[in-house]
Every structure is written in structure tokens, then in C-alpha cells.
Amino acid sequence: MAIVHIGIGSNIGDRQENCREAIRQLGLQGVKVIKESSMIETEPWGVADQPRFINMAVEAETALMPSQLFIILKNIEKDMGRTAAVRWGPRVIDLDILFYDDMVLDSPELKIPHPYLQERPFVLIPLAEIAPEKVHPVLKKTMRELGSGPADDPCR
């Protein structure tokens, strides 16, 4: 079984319930969530003119290969009502593979670790909560080290 870390976010509808439903759907698809971070409310990233997000991260076990997991995450997003829209724009649910064990993968459709995670406090703060000693396989820093941004960070 692989240990995976998945980022979860929502800024449309009942944001907290959307995140909880995504976790339920993961369980139905062979992704056993073993740790959940707190939900945090954050400013949007990439496109500023949109509602605030609820973000969190989970640690899970799965026998799925990365490409299979990616397809399942995209299907959950679609089933929950996410539609193709503006990149980094509003969404009912957003599910991202942050880590898959210590794998480094760079394909046209999937990059692991997630290429922007070290730039996003809304990812690092939840990750540091559930996996503070997880080492980024490329940057060679723990989530605690990467997530210890300035105290006045708007995502804290």
C-alpha cells in the first residue's frame, strides 16, 4: 500500500460539507483516509476575485497506482459538480495529489510532488499539521520547515 497526501479545497456552496463528501468518496474508491487536517479558511490563490476557500489535507493508504488515483480524483470532482472553467477559479471541490510515497513523477498530465505545494500556505499548513516530518523528495525539507511561514500569513 502506498501512503498518499491529498489536498482538498472548496469555495462554492457548503465548503466544509463539500470537503467531507470528498473524503467519503475517497473511501468508496479504495483510498483509506488515515489522517485529516483541520479545515482552514484561506484567500484564493491565482485568481483573487472569487470567494474564500476551505482547504485541508489528508493522508491515506491506497493500492492504486498514481495514474489510477488521479483519474479517481478527477471523477470525484466531476461527480460532485466541478466543471471545466477558469484555471484556479471557483470550484465546488478541488482534489490534488500532493505526495505519493516518495515518488517523483513528471508527466504531461501528472506531476508528483505537486509542483506548487511549496508556494501555497493553504497546502503547507494542513500538511504540516498531519505530516510535519514528511520530507519533500525534491526539496529535501520537511513540511514543518516548508510550512513555517511568517506569522502574519493570511492563511494562518
Secondary-structure percent of the chain, ordered helix, strand, coil, rounded to 5 = 30, 25, 45
Instruction: Convert 79-115 into a string of H (helix), E (strand) and C (coil).
Output: HCCCCCCCCCCCCCCEEEEEEECCCCEECCCCEECCC
Please give the positions annotated as active site.
Answer: 82, 91, 94, 96
